[in-house]
């Protein structure tokens, strides 16, 4: 590192135009064209005018020649050449930053983040992020736009696939794990990349699940639900933050000093770089809060946006704003200095190529060890939603029919798969053939695409395969292109042709007495009563990544146990959305989930989910005893601030094989200054037991676990009575055990976003 004094000296030599360029991030295509031609020696003002949408930016060649960062490219050889060409013509020799979206893997793709949430395993998330960072850094990247810390309860929103679920507390654990995995112990390590947490904040609350639409979030909901994962990422050392596209209290995040300066930097303690989302600064104009690009630049800078991604408000507007005294020179300098500090932390002034190394890239990208890790992660994230004994498939089965569009489909990667390729994936039927032999597995997709009308000949072939089989694996799901950004759906169900195929297969199997195990590929919670009601087993494979086909075969055959648990509730109908475990109590509660006159609920359907948060079965069965507490209250006479209540429960394996259960802890604050959730998820322990084995599992409850934002928005605990619940899901919990929090501790936390 060259240090703070050298960075400030460098800053003092920069012109206003160079500072504006340093705060601008552009797509690689700009650099390819301009640097190939050679930048004007005098910094010339000619406009670079590519065709297509990029031409709308009206970026000057001099801006490209001094820009601070590059978006959306990877490859060691390519980025080394680009860095060298850039530095060769650069006046101040400030290296470029290379950034892209390495969301759940570079070339080795892991399960989508929502699936990783189903692992309930911070160590696994950290390991996957570490492998992704190793591949990304070797391929020349310095920054990944991950983890996504957004909170969402609406499966209509396509980007729910990038979240880790509906529990703010679990989201925080996994966000911190991802940051630590990407960044390692030192950003200068050539196997590390800087993590950019996104999207700050409230993006997951878009109305109706509509991408980019308005949000309406109370400050209490913002602090209680949307900020905890960001706070955890900040505490883990996240180097960058990306403001959301969307509004907070009527103000776009990229124009909100309260959000970015008061909350993010002041209350939460974030000291890193903020980078706008694609075009978000210019989008202040259609939001209706800026009249032109100059005003957009002025508002974004005042709010605290350091880097403008893919719009030219800073590039063309900051210098004129400074001349007109409409921009604070100190705010410009602080933004540029933060960018320079990040480059210094990455060691780019000493080694502009960081970890970019063609030989290392070839050795680590999609290597055998990484592919094995992808397979392991995929198996650990799969959730067995239902099972009547159909799974695992019996070894003695002579013929297995794998039917449905995902029998032979290789698009298993999900949204934001970076450099992942479908050809790296092994389809489910092929994975089973490799395990059992081609003579025992027959594939009959029935249709080539996921949502095309059924071909009569194809359907006939499917039904013939079903009738001739000893067991059927029905492989269905949504297409990856229907998840992720700009992929909102009004009706998160299987496409109609697949529902028709499922009905036909299940009818034929029932007539033949053939068991059916359904495998569901998805990037969001889906409404799938046609599978849950009729298939003997339902395995949620998610979008499992590069080795997902092999992992699904491992689980179906019983070589791997389904260890995943739902991080987001699956609704019973679209009309229930949002449905989640941490509802607030109603003044007229329903005892059974149905409205009865003047009670909360619906007359035609329960408001409870089809599959609740935390749900997931094993290949064995477990019995939970009644939980107990070791003491009635926290902070009894003479105790210190580290006092705790311990809740414990006996768990026994009552089934025929060794298996794993996820023991879960939920809390309820019975009376408080504001209404508190019926259930707050606050602990878990994965327990592996042999048949007949019993283990006692304990959870420590201390005062910080009981804090919340009170009626004056202070982050405190309040004395009173509490209930603790233990069980295998939010829908299968013990009777509560009671404990109390006594008054009298003077050192309880107050205020802030935590």
Q: Which residue has the tokens 């055959």?
A: 557
Identified catalytic residue from 277, 357, 376, 424: 277
Supply 143's token pair.
């920054």
Q: Using N-to-C axis directions, what is the helix angle for 293-303 and 313-323, rounded to 10°? A: 80
**Nearest Cα to Cα of residue 296 among 263, 266, 326, 338:** 326
Q: Which residue has the tokens 């009905």?
A: 503
> 251-252 and 247-248 as β-strands: parallel, antiparallel, unpaired?
antiparallel
Phi-psi region of 696 (alpha: psi -120 to 50; beta: other; left: phi over 0): beta
Q: Where does residue 615 rank: exposed (0-12), middle (13-18), buried (19+ CB within 10 A)?
A: buried
Judge contact between 504 and 463, C-beta under 8 A. yes
Judge contact between 412 and 545, C-beta under 8 A. yes
**Nearest Cα to Cα of residue 305 among 284, 322, 285, 281:** 281
Q: Is 527 helix (H, G, I), strand (E, B) or coil?
A: strand
Q: Is 186 helix (H, G, I), strand (E, B) or coil?
A: coil
The Cα 680–Cα 666 span in angstroms is 5
Half-sphere exposure of 686 (CA within 13 A, CB side): 16
Supply 550's token pair.
């092999």
Q: Is 556 helix (H, G, I), strand (E, B) or coil?
A: helix
> 24-27 and 69-71 as β-strands: parallel, antiparallel, unpaired?
parallel
Radius of gyration for the chain, computed over Cα atoms and rounded to the nearest angstrom = 27
> 622-624 and 644-653 as β-strands: parallel, antiparallel, unpaired?
antiparallel
Active site residue 333: no
Determine how many CB atoms are found less than 10 A away from the CB of residue 632.
11
Judge contact between 31 and 70, C-beta under 8 A. yes
220's CB contacts (< 8 A; 6+ apart) are 674, 709, 713
The Cα 553–Cα 494 span in angstroms is 22
Entry field: residues in the chain: 754
Catalytic residue annotation: 277
């Amino acid at each position: 590192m060259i240090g703070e004094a050298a960075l400030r000296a460098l800053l003092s030599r920069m012109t206003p135009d160079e500072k504006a360029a340093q705060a601008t991030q552009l797509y690689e295509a700009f650099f390819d064209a301009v640097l190939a031609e050679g930048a004007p020696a005098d910094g010339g003002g000619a406009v670079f005018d590519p065709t297509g949408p990029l031409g709308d930016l009206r970026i000057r060649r001099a801006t490209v020649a001094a820009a601070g960062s590059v978006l959306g490219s990877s490859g060691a050889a390519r980025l080394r050449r680009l860095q060298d060409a850039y530095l060769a013509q650069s006046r101040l020799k400030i290296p470029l930053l290379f950034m892209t979206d390495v969301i759940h893997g570079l070339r080795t793709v892991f399960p989508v983040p929502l699936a990783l949430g189903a692992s309930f395993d911070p160590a696994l998330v950290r390991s996957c992020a570490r492998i992704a960072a190793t591949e990304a850094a070797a391929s020349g990247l310095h920054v990944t736009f991950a983890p996504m810390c957004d909170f969402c309860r609406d499966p209509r929103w396509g980007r729910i696939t990038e979240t880790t679920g509906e529990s703010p507390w679990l989201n925080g654990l996994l966000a911190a794990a991802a940051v630590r995995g990407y960044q390692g112990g030192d950003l200068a390590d050539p196997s590390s990349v800087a993590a950019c947490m996104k999207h700050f904040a409230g993006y997951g609350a878009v109305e109706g699940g509509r991408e980019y639409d308005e949000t309406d979030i109370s400050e209490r909901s913002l602090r209680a639900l949307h900020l905890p994962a960001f706070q955890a990422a900040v505490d883990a050392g996240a180097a960058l933050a990306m403001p959301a596209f969307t509004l907070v209290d009527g103000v776009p995040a990229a124009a909100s000093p309260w959000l970015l300066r008061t909350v993010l930097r002041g209350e939460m303690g974030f000291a890193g770089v903020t980078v706008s989302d694609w075009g978000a600064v210019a989008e202040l104009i259609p939001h209706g809060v800026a009249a032109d690009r100059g005003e957009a630049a002025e508002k974004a800078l005042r709010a605290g946006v350091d880097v403008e991604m893919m719009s030219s408000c800073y590039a063309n507007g900051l210098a004129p704003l400074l001349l007109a005294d409409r921009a604070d020179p100190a705010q410009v300098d602080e933004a540029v200095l933060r960018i320079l500090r990040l480059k210094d932390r990455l060691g780019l002034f000493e080694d502009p190529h960081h970890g970019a190394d063609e030989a290392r890239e070839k050795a680590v990208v999609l290597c055998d060890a990484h592919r094995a890790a992808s397979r392991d992660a995929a198996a650990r994230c799969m959730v067995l939603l239902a099972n009547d004994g159909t799974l695992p498939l019996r070894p003695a089965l002579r013929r297995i029919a794998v039917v449905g569009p995902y029998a032979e489909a290789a698009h298993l990667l999900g949204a934001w798969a970076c450099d992942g390729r479908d050809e790296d994936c092994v389809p489910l039927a092929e994975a089973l053939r490799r395990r059992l032999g081609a003579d025992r597995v027959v594939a009959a997709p029935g249709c080539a695409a996921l949502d095309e009308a059924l071909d009569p000949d194809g359907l006939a072939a499917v039904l013939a395969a079903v009738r001739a089989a000893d067991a059927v694996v029905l492989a269905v799901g949504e297409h990856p292109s229907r998840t992720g950004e700009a992929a909102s759906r009004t009706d998160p169900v299987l496409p109609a042709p697949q529902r028709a195929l499922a009905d036909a297969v299940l009818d034929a199997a029932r007539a033949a007495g053939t068991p059916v195990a359904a495998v569901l590929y998805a990037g969001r919670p889906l409404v799938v009563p046609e599978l849950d009601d009729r298939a003997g087993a339902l395995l949620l494979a998610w979008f499992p990544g590069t080795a997902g086909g092999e992992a699904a075969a491992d689980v179906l055959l019983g070589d791997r146990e389904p260890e995943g648990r739902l991080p987001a509730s699956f609704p019973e109908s679209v009309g229930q959305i949002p449905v989640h475990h941490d509802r607030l109590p109603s003044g007229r509660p329903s005892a059974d989930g149905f409205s009865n006159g003047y009670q909360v609920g619906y007359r035609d359907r329960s408001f409870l989910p089809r599959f609740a948060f935390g749900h997931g079965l094993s290949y064995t069965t477990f019995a939970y005893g009644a939980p107990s507490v070791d003491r009635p209250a926290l902070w009894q006479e003479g105790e210190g601030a580290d006092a705790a209540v311990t809740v414990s429960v006996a768990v026994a394996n009552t089934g025929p094989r060794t298996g794993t259960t996820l023991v879960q802890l939920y809390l309820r604050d019975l009376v408080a200054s504001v209404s508190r959730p019926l259930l707050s998820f606050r602990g878990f322990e994965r327990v592996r037991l042999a048949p007949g084995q019993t283990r006692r599992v304990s959870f420590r409850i201390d005062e910080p676990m009981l804090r919340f934002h009170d009626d004056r928005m202070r982050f405190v605990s309040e004395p009173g009575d509490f209930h603790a619940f233990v069980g295998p899901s939010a829908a299968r919990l013990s009777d509560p055990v009671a404990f109390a929090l006594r008054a009298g501790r003077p050192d309880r936390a107050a205020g802030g976003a935590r």
